[in-house]
Amino acid sequence: MEPGEVLAVDETIVPFRGRLLFRQYIPGKAHKYGVKFFKLCGSNGYTYNVQVFGGKSQVDGKGLGCRVVLDLCRKYLNMGRTMVTDNFYTSITLASELLTNDTHLVGTLRSNRVKLPEITKKMLSPGEIIGKENSDGIIVAKLRDKRDVTVVDKT
C-alpha cells in the first residue's frame, strides 16, 4: 500500500522491563521503560518504516532528529510529499535537506535550534503572530497564545 501525500515521523516505546543495553526511560510516555522506535506513518494510520533506537551513535553533524527523518523517508523523497514532525526532529537544516529532495516539512520548532531568524527572539503579546521567509522559501513563524509556539513550514 502506497502512503498518501502527508507522512509523519514520531517515536514510540515498546514496553520492556528486562535487561537490555539500549532500553530507554522516557518519563512522559505511558510506558516509561522499553525499547524506543522511530516510526514513519501515513495519515491512514499505517506504519511505513521503523528504526530501532540503539543508543547514541556517531552522527554526521546534522543531529539525530535530522538523520532519523532522512533515513526513514529516504524511499519517499523526490515525490512532492509533506513530512510532519514534532519539535525533537524539526530544524532549519532538516527543512533545507528535504527541500533539496522535493519534500516539504511542517513542524513545531524548539527556540534553541541553530540557524533560527531573529524574529524567534522577539517577545509577543497574546494573539500576535510574526514570520520570516528565507531565500529558500522556508517560513519560520512565531505566535503567542498561552505560550510561545514556533513553527517551520515549507509547503
Task: Please provide the DSSP assignment of 27-67 as one string.
Answer: TTSSS-EEEEEEEEEETTS-EEEEEE--S-----SS-HHHH
Flag whether pLDDT at 154 surpasses 90: no
In our burial notation (b when 16+ CB lie closer than 10 A, e otherwise), range 35-55 reads bbbbbbbbeeeeebbebebee
Arithmetic mean of pLDDT, 101-124:
89
For strand 129-133 and strand 23-25, is the pairing parallel, antiparallel, or unpaired? unpaired
| pTM given for the model | 0.86
- Identify the pLDDT of residue 68: 93
Report residue 120's pLDDT band, with 50, 70 and 90 as the boundaries: confident
Rounded CA gap, 22 and 98, in Å?
29
Indicate whether 7 pLDDT > 90: yes
pLDDT over 70 percentage in the chain: 96
Residue 2 pLDDT level (bands cut at 50, 70, 90): confident
pLDDT digits (tens, 9 = 90+) for 61-101: 678 889 999 999 999 999 999 999 999 999 999 999 999 99
